[in-house]
């Protein structure tokens, strides 16, 4: 029997607007000793080697970015595989984040994943007309957000050890 030192974690992230979600992913990866890949880099064969998988991106039109949702839709069926979801977005709020995460969450649940926890914070946003006013959430995610991301990852680690 193999005796793994710790949970093998993969974080799949799609982040392009200001690399906001990538910053969050990097902090989490550091805490979880995880590998980060984009949806384009992940092969379905890869997934077998990980016992915890994180899925994160910015939010566009009230859901995670399309390349992440499309990857999730191609995942093979699993049996209670642990996962977590995260995002950054222009506008936050408990109900809003729950709604923003709903599409990805429902795909993952339909594929047999168990979503252990979810994280979100504000991200710098210069989408559309906002760029004419210097954008919203300048400096986000900030040190506080990244600290929360670290605590989130630490709690996940204790939950999966
Ligand atoms: C095309 C586009 C659409 C967006 N739609 C939303 C949205 O529906 N709700 C929201 O709260 N933020 C929205 N945002 C803001 C982004 O989710 C936010 O800036 C995020 O932090 C970007 O993440 P990234 O830098 O990792 O790509 C949108 C941004 C862009 C560029």
From 88-92, 125-129, 144-148, the region with the lowest mean pLDDT: 125-129
Cα of 93 to ligand 1 centre, how many Å? Answer: 14
Cα Dmax for the chain: 60
Q: Does residue 56 contact residue 27 with C-beta atoms inside 8 Å?
A: no
> What local confidence, expressed as pLDDT, does residue 54 receive?
98
Mean pLDDT (the chain) is 94
Cα of 141 to ligand 1 centre, how many Å? Answer: 13
Beta strand pairing status for 81-89 and 52-60? parallel
Q: What is the pLDDT of residues 1-43, one digit of tens each?
A: 444 557 899 999 999 999 999 999 999 999 999 999 999 999 9
Mutate to test the pocket of ligand 1, among 16, 59, 67, 139 (most ligand atoms within 8 A of CB): 59
Q: What is the pLDDT of residues 51-74, one digit of tens each?
A: 999 999 999 999 999 999 999 999
Helices (H), the chain: 20-32, 66-74, 94-100, 102-110, 143-160
> What local confidence, expressed as pLDDT, does residue 161 receive?
67
Angle, to 10 degrees, between the axis of helix 20-32 and the axis of helix 143-160? Answer: 40
> What local confidence, expressed as pLDDT, does residue 110 receive?
98
Q: Which CATH number fits domain 9-160: 3.40.50.2300, 3.40.50.300, 3.40.50.360, 3.40.710.10?
A: 3.40.50.360
């Amino acid at each position: 029997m193999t005796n793994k030192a710790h949970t093998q974690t993969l974080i799949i992230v799609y982040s392009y607007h200001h690399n906001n979600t990538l910053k969050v992913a990097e902090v989490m990866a550091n805490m979880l000793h995880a590998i980060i890949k984009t949806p384009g880099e992940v092969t379905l064969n890869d997934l077998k080697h990980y016992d915890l998988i994180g899925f994160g991106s910015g939010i566009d039109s009230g859901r995670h970015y399309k390349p992440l949702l499309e990857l999730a839709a191609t995942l093979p069926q699993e049996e209670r595989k642990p996962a977590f979801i995260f995002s950054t977005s222009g506008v936050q709020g408990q109900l809003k984040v729950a709604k923003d995460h709903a599409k990805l969450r429902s795909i993952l649940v339909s594929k047999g994943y168990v979503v252990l926890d979810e994280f979100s914070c504000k991200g710098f946003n210069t989408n559309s007309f906002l760029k004419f006013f210097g954008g919203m959430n300048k400096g986000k995610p900030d040190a506080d957000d990244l600290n929360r991301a670290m605590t989130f990852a630490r709690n996940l680690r204790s939950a999966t050890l």
